[in-house]
């Protein structure tokens, strides 16, 4: 009996053993293939980064070498600097450096990219490079030479020692383990050197991009937790603020703020509100309730959003866009001063399309841009709408126009004519400078899952 049983089970066990070995071998092969692919991607990104930084140094030299009157060559050089720097930034993002301090180098390249783009796109015949900008280019030329040299040294070590980037990931995850940290040490050295470079005068347009919004810049004194509870209770319409939970975010930093959570009476819905620490300004509000099937129209939702803003003390706002997704209507409101739409002062309002209740509001742009009691200075357009219209493509089919104050790519606030219309089967909003007709912003209105309309 045992012989007969073993005669049956032994072949089965052998088949299972061979099958498990084959499965394990295949799994190991697939794992190795993934690791090899990842290593190849890292190596390619690193060597391309070294190549592009060296190329950046050369292109900066070419831009400096041409005569100051050769504006065409200067523009070409600056555009190439912008393109190469963008490539280098992309390659840094492909490397496993998330746990490694390389932020100074990344910000340095970002500033070069923005500076070269803004200088390259302007008309250098009318606004040539200033002495400060030429000085910047010379400093960037010297700095890029040092970065290129240091990255080249790391590259030589990687090639000579046959170092792997997969080991970098392991070393970053286990900093206490004794491993070859040549790559990590090399990148730390580069970042340290970049941090020691002299501070350059990038100009107000570039500086404003890195001049991050801070609650310290807001008016008003710092508020307390009890102040936030009272503000949250009034906004959410609850009687007692005692049960509202408030947490402080970023305590002791310039980014400190408060988050208040208000529980509904039936426990099925709660709302969350974010406030700035300085002045206690509401910057965000949202509800987590379940949204049912759509039952109200866009017009009805707009009326609810309008009334909500007025009840909360936000006046002189008008809707400019509408998006609809997952039975939620999202309106963008901007402040209107006379006939001018002030786009920097905007608020987004989300309305549930099942019953028309407002379930969310994003007001951070409005809070940081709007100043109560201070009239925003706006220049009158030098061009009439008829004169500005001549700068449009003749095939552009205008549907509406209006005056709008916007922030352009140079972080400058400019008065424009907003022309909504269509061309080549697509809809656009084109913002023309109201003084000279230049196209400040061209925005395509895409129709996808969301139903987006201009109001």
Note the pLDDT tens digit of each residue in 369-404.
887 656 677 888 999 999 999 999 999 999 999 999
**433 or 205, which is more confident:** 433
Note the pLDDT tens digit of each residue in 43-92.
888 888 889 889 988 888 888 888 777 888 888 888 888 889 888 888 88
Note the pLDDT tens digit of each residue in 411-433.
788 999 999 999 998 999 999 99
Q: What is the pLDDT of residue 268?
A: 67
Q: pLDDT band for position 21 (50/70/90)?
A: low
State how far the Cα of 309 lies from the Cα of 332, in Å rounded to an integer: 12
E strands in 225-307: 245-249, 257-263, 270-276, 282-287
Tell which phi-psi region holds residue 279, choosing left (phi > 0), alpha (psi between -120 and 50) or beta.
Answer: left
Class of the CATH-defined domain 385-454: alpha beta
Query: What's the Rg (C-alpha) of the chain?
Result: 30
| Per-position b or e across 113-126, b if 16+ CB within 10 A of its CB | bbbbbbbbeeebee
The Cα diameter of the chain in Å comes to 106
Is the whole-model pTM more than 0.75? no
Instruction: Decide if 369 contacts 345 (C-beta within 8 A).
Output: yes
* DSSP classification of residue 238: -
Q: What is the pLDDT of residue 215?
A: 45
Domain boundaries, the chain: 2-207, 217-368, 385-454
State how far the Cα of 277 lies from the Cα of 319, in Å rounded to an integer: 29
């Amino acid at each position: 009996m045992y012989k007969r049983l073993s005669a049956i089970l032994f072949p089965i066990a052998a088949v299972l053993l061979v099958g498990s070995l084959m499965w394990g071998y295949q799994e190991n092969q697939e794992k190795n293939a993934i690791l090899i692919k990842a290593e190849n991607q890292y190596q390619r990104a690193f060597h391309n980064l070294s190549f592009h930084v060296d190329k950046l140094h050369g292109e900066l030299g070419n831009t400096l070498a041409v005569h100051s009157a050769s504006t065409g060559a200067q523009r070409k050089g600056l555009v190439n600097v912008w393109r190469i720097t963008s490539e280098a930034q992309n390659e840094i993002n492909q490397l496993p450096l998330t746990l490694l301090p390389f932020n100074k180098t990344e910000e340095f390249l970002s500033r070069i990219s923005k500076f070269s783009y803004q200088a390259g796109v302007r008309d250098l015949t009318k606004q040539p490079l200033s002495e400060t900008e030429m000085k910047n280019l010379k400093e960037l030329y010297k700095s890029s030479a040092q970065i290129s040299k240091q990255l080249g040294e790391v590259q030589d070590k990687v090639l000579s020692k046959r170092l792997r980037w997969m080991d970098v990931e392991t070393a970053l995850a286990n900093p206490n383990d004794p491993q070859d940290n040549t790559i990590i040490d090399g990148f730390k050295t580069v970042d340290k050197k970049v941090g020691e470079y002299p501070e350059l005068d990038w100009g107000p347009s570039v500086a404003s991009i890195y001049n991050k919004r801070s609650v310290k810049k807001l008016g008003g004194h710092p508020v307390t937790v009890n102040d936030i509870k009272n503000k949250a209770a009034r906004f959410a319409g609850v009687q007692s603020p005692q049960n509202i939970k408030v947490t402080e975010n970023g305590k002791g930093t310039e980014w400190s703020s408060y988050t208040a959570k208000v529980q509904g009476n039936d426990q099925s819905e709660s709302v969350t509100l974010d406030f700035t620490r300085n002045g206690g300004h509401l910057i965000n509000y949202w509800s987590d309730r379940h949204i049912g099937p759509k039952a109200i129209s866009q017009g009805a939702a707009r009326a609810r959003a309008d009334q909500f803003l007025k009840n909360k003390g936000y006046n002189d706002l008008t809707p400019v866009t509408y998006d609809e997704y997952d039975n939620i209507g999202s309106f963008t409101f901007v402040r209107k001063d006379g006939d001018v739409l002030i786009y920097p002062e905007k608020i987004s309002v989300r309305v549930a399309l099942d019953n028309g209740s407002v379930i969310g509001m994003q007001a951070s742009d409005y809070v940081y841009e709007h100043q109560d009691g201070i009239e925003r200075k706006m220049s009158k357009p030098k061009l009439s709408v008829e004169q500005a219209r001549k700068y449009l493509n003749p095939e552009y089919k205008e549907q509406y126009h209006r005056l709008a104050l916007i922030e352009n790519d140079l972080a400058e606030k400019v008065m424009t004519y907003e022309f909504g219309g269509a061309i080549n089967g697509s809809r656009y909003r084109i913002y023309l400078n109201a003084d000279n007709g230049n196209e400040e912003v061209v925005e395509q209105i895409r129709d996808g899952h969301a139903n987006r309309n201009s109001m």
